[in-house]
Structure 1
Amino acid sequence: MSAGGAASGDRTAAASPPPDLGPPTTFVLLRHGATALTAHGRFSGSGAREDPPLAEAGRAQAAAVATYLRGTPVDTVVSSPLRRCRETAAALGLPYAVEEDLRETDFGTWEGLTFTEARAQDPDAFAAWLAVPGAAPPGGESFADVAVRVAAARDRLLAAHRGRTVLLVSHVTPLKTLLRLALGAPHTALFRMDLAPASLSALAVWGDGNTTVRYLNNTAHLPPG
């Protein structure tokens, strides 16, 4: 072996081990319980005139989540500012903070409509909304807009709670966006995930930024029906 080869081997042997990244930050993602609009599949976002509370079924779902999570180590609970999320968070019996950027999408003039009604009202805008991340409902937010603010909220929470478990109580689009970003998937992945009311998902974020999805749409804790 040449002197150069030996030196190269010595450098490799002496190389420092990778840094200890420590425990990951775990985000447990809880979709709020059902409202009166949920069963009808109506757009219910942050731009609606009304801020609907949990329906009776939603309150039962929130209570079931609270029972299921009892004894689970959770360091912090953070909720969307909208009423259905705050009521779900309150049912857990733990202190919680509010993060504005975890609010649901502003669906503009489609608030309160079903998908079928929105498509009939604005067929071109609806088709663009499904196909293009930057396309928004009339007067509302695009998926790209939502991704920017949700990622910003995630990064703030990572900085404040590194290595801890944070329970996020939010809505279907912000939570799907967090999962999509974790997977590095395109925006169309939003349409290929199902998050039931009061379902639980989880992802882990390591010190180097690597993110893994641990589970998705766990509903085993919910009452039947």
Structure 2
Amino acid sequence: MAKNADGVVALKEDGLTDAVQAAGAVELLLIRHGESEGNVAATAARLAGAEVIEVPARDADVNLSSTGQKQAKALGTALGRVEKEFRSDAVVSSPYARAVQTAEITVLTAGWPPMVRTDERLRDRELGILDRLTKLGVDRRFPEEAERRLWLGKLYYRPPGGESWADVALRLRSVLDELNSRDRGQRVLLVCHDAVIMLFRYILEGLSEEELLDLAASTTILNASITRYVRPSGAGPWTLDSFNVADHLTEQGVEVTEHAGETNVHPR
């Protein structure tokens, strides 16, 4: 994002103003939710060498941390500076509490009119029997699953009762299909989770398994970061404009938090 002479933030036009009759959405802003109490608990458990992550609620009900709330407000402040004609027309969130809270705080702070709608297809990956366990916990309690995860790699490993990344990709493909019919010519902001943003890149850029896993092993999606795709005509392939940007947090003196997942993601 860049500021004009009046200090108003202007997203690059990229010809988007000519997309009124577009076949589908013309812009996607992918936002990872702000830091959650679950992020904090998972990092604390890993550093303490614990097997279980002591979260206060089921995954869907985990709230933002105090830092996460500040991040959402900073995001809203930054987006509130975007010129009106380039603001998002629709805001869609994962139904998980940390994502909905991020979306609602952001929209309220930005002063945007769109109502936040939720879509369960944007939810985080379900971990099944491995839910709430650290890597150490999985290794000790389910050694056969730990071995199977190493053998299959991140994209195709599905824990009992849970999902693989490939499973998540399937539901995201249907989200993108719907954007072509429901959000014609619109700019859409999606508030979701780190794995979801990685898999949007996999789908939108046609990445190979190796390219996806290389990215996952080397990159952590920052809390309240912005990833932007544009498609001026509303049809055809998307172009990645920016990835994992959190400058809006730094500029406002808000902590940038990095809660990484498992980096051993390639099949063995």
Q: Same fold (TM over 0.5)?
A: yes
One of 102, 107, 126 as aligned partner of 1:106: 126
The alignment of Structure 1 onto Structure 2 pairs a total of residues equal to: 203
Structure 1 residue 97 displacement after superposition: 0.7
Letter in 1 for 2:36: T
Q: In the alignment, what sits opposite 1:224?
A: 255
Distance in 2 separating the partners of 1:170 and 1:49: 13
Gaps (5+ residues) in structure 2?
1-17, 46-52, 257-268
Does 1:209 find its partner at 2:236? yes
Distance in 1 separating the partners of 2:222 and 2:59: 24
TM-superposition CA deviations, 1:27-67 (whole Å, max 9, x none) = 100111111221334789xx946611111111111111010
**Secondary structure of 1:184's aligned partner:** coil
Does 1:88 find its partner at 2:102? yes
One of 78, 85, 90 as aligned partner of 1:68: 78
One of 152, 168, 183 as aligned partner of 2:205: 183
Q: In the alignment, what sits opposite 1:27?
A: 28
Q: In the alignment, what sits opposite 2:220?
A: 194
Matched-pair contact (CA < 8 Å) for 1:48–1:112: no
TM-superposition CA deviations, 1:77-126 (whole Å, max 9, x none) = 00011111111111021421111100111111222222333233334423
Mean Cα deviation higher: 190-199 or 81-90: 190-199
Matched-pair contact (CA < 8 Å) for 1:31–1:172: yes
Q: In the alignment, what sits opposite 1:6?
A: none
Matched-pair contact (CA < 8 Å) for 1:30–1:199: yes
Say if 1:76 and 1:208 are closer, same or farther in 2 by CA, change over 3 A: closer
Say if 1:148 and 1:79 are closer, same or farther in 2 by CA, change over 3 A: same
Distance in 2 separating the partners of 1:116 and 1:199: 29
Letter in 1 for 2:247: A
Distance in 1 separating the partners of 2:164 and 2:137: 19
Matched-pair contact (CA < 8 Å) for 1:34–1:55: yes
**Secondary structure of 1:77's aligned partner:** strand
Structure (1 or 2) with the larger CA radius of gyration: 1
TM-superposition CA deviations, 1:101-157 (whole Å, max 9, x none) = 001111112222223332333344235435163321222111111000011112112
Distance in 2 separating the partners of 1:207 and 1:50: 33
Distance in 2 separating the partners of 1:140 and 1:212: 31
